[in-house]
A and B are shown apart, each in its own frame.
Chain A
Amino acid sequence: MAKLPKAFEKLIEELQKLPGVGPKTAYRLAFFILKMEKEEAQSLSNSIIDLKDNVRYCQICFNLSDEEICQICSDENRNHKQICIVEQPQDAISIERSGEYRGTYHILGGAISPQEGVGPDQLRIRELLERVEKVVPEEVIIATNPNVKGEMTAAYLLRLLKGKVPRITQLATGVPFGGDLDFADEITIAKALQSRRTLDTK
């Protein structure tokens, strides 16, 4: 097979660094970009640089932000006495999408995983404690992922925050809404049973 032009090969190589992109997808994307109008390609490349130059982390909650303080943290209408702790910015986005939550966030930047060298010092836990001391929240919601790493992180946070915050809660795990019990996997059902709640029978 004839060799591809150097610029083409380079792009394929770069694209493959993206998650979920293998050689075939990279090849297809590179061809697509080749066929794009120059302005479109330019805009794509600019927005990548722009992302790196202009998106910052909020000084308070460490969510992605245009400014020093993110929209949520600077919103007067939100409850600043309520902090929801999540692993990643995308977790906060998911919770925001629900429209159910009117408090603020704290993004840890990961979860405890000693095997991968991630401990409390690698997460924004010191910053969380400083924030808790300053704000004295009424409630902290621990919303780490429902897996081992998330559970270890939650257990660690609970130990740190006990006595410092009057109400510490954890996001419930259970059967997805709108689905049938029939289709829920066994682990989800087991967890849902463990965290079942008492209904008002008065």
Chain B
Amino acid sequence: MIIKEIYLENIRKYSQKKIFFPDEKKNNQRILILGPNGAGKTTILESLIFLFRGFIYGNSPQRFIKKGASKAIIRGYFFSLKSETNHEISASISIKGSSSISLNRKEVKRELVRKIFDAYWFFPQDIELILGGDEIRRSFIDGLIKYFDSTYKKTISDYQTLVKARNEILLRAENESEVYNNKELDAIEEVLSKTTVEILKKRTRVISELNNILEWIYKEFISDKTLRIDYKTTLKISDKLKDSINESLFVSRGTDFRTGSTSVGPHRDHISLIYEGRDARYEASYGERKLMALALKVSGYKLILEKKSGEVVFLADDLLSELDGNHKITALKLLSMNCPSLIMTATEIESNIVSDGDIQRLNLEDIK
């Protein structure tokens, strides 16, 4: 995609601002947004995420919308390289959180916009993919699947409803023997097992595809060490997947009755990053871990590009901070070699390291 211009109204510190993107090459853009801290670099990335994805990254509407304003507008003018057409996308959000989106001035469902353009990103918080708990990696994998599998969102929400239903019955039961003789629980677990099969299959497949890319990327760009994702389910499974899941849920009824929650299933599964055969959380330096997180995200991006028909831009916020000289160069190379459509932010000092002539600069100070 080519981003030609974005217009921000009442976003953060901007009342009204037009930002023109360098687009003379008539090809996928690779742009480095420059400016001192507080210049609004991240705001531009957040605005693109809001435009394509419909949510505010790490913030509430109250903080995203300019103080005193009740409504914010983001409008973008884009060119699709696949369909060779221009598109105008406009999104608004009110302080109460209600939002709407229109494509070429017609109000549409957000899914329709995502079929044409989408955004994917690496933000400094993504270091948590390495350092954080399983839930962060689970939501990374589930989020990744949702990019190209439009039925997965419903599968996950059905799963959550079913787990809540199961917990509710467990909470209501008066004693442990009662939970083993409950037909309603049988029925819920039957449907829950079916949904679980879908989640396990999709996660397993995506993780294996992701590993193929990740192992290659890590070796090619970072070091000759191996980095891969490991998925361990909390369920006891056998070849008869659905039956074994059903059995596993049944067996855990007693424990789950005592705790009032469901202790096994995709919502508790372990997803870890294995670096040279060991949990990456406890290995390597901070800078190396940041590169691991970046490699993971870029692998996800490549998988999305393989599987999704629309055009997806990679947004990398504050990529170069907290990395030493060599790591900076590695990170830049990793991105520029793997992300055809790329927008990065950096401060002026960090940007000296960017030597790739292919990367165009957009200086926020120049466009006041």
Contacts and interface: CB of A to CB of B under 8 A. Distances in A.
Contact of A186 (B150, B162, B164): B150
Given A148-B162, A151-B191, A155-B190, A114 B184 contact: yes
B191 A148 contact: yes
Given A114-B169, A151-B191, A186-B150, A120 B162 contact: no
A152 interface: yes
B187 interface: yes
B151 interface: yes
Contacts of B165: 112-115, 148, 152
Q: Secondary structure of the A side of the interface?
A: helix
Most buried by A among B150, B164, B172, B188: B188
Nearest to A185: B150
Interface in A93-124: 112-115, 119-120
Contact of A159 (B162, B168, B187): B187
A114 B168 contact: yes
A171 interface: no
Contact of B187 (A155, A185, A190): A155
Interface string B226-247: 0000000000000000000000
Contacts of B168: 114-115
Contact of B161 (A148, A185, A190): A148
Q: Secondary structure of the B side of the interface?
A: helix
Given A155-B191, A187-B151, A112 B184 contact: yes
A156 B158 contact: no
Interface string B42-75: 0000000000000000000000000000000000
Contact of A156 (B161, B172, B187): B187
B164 A115 contact: yes
Contact of A152 (B149, B150, B188): B188
A172 interface: no
Contacts, number: 56
B183 A159 contact: yes
Given A148-B161, A152-B165, A112 B187 contact: yes
A160 interface: yes
Given A114-B168, A115-B164, A148-B191, A156 B150 contact: no
B186 A159 contact: yes
A102 B68 CA distance: 64
B31 to A, nearest CB: 33
Given A113-B165, A148-B158, A148-B161, A156 B151 contact: no
Contacts of A153: 187
Interface string A143-155: 0000110011101
Nearest to A147: B158
A187 B187 CA distance: 22
B151 A120 contact: no
B25 interface: no
A1 to B, nearest CB: 22
B154 interface: yes
A161 B158 CA distance: 25
Contacts of B149: 186
A151 B194 CA distance: 11
Contacts of B190: 155, 159
Contacts of A113: 165
Given A156-B187, A159-B187, A190 B151 contact: yes
Interface string B206-227: 0000000000000000000000
A66 B114 CA distance: 51
Interface string A18-50: 000000000000000000000000000000000
Nearest to A160: B183
B191 to A, nearest CB: 5
B160 to A, nearest CB: 10
Interface string B139-170: 00000000001110010001001101110110
A158 B194 CA distance: 15
Contacts of B161: 115, 148
B155 to A, nearest CB: 9
A152 B165 CA distance: 10
Nearest to A117: B168
Contacts of B150: 185-187
A148 B191 CA distance: 8
Contacts of A159: 183, 186-187, 190
Nearest to A120: B184
A156 B183 contact: yes
Contacts of B169: 114
A23 B66 CA distance: 30
Contacts of A148: 158, 161-162, 165, 191
A119 B182 CA distance: 12
Contacts of B162: 148, 152
Most buried by A among B165, B172, B187: B187
Given A155-B190, A156-B184, 5 more contacts: A112-B165, A112-B184, A114-B165, A115-B168, A160-B183
Q: Which 3 A-B pairs have the closest CB atoms?
A: A156-B187, A114-B168, A155-B187
5 contacts: A114-B188, A147-B158, A148-B162, A148-B165, A159-B187
Interface of A: 112-115, 119-120, 147-148, 151-153, 155-156, 158-160, 185-187, 190
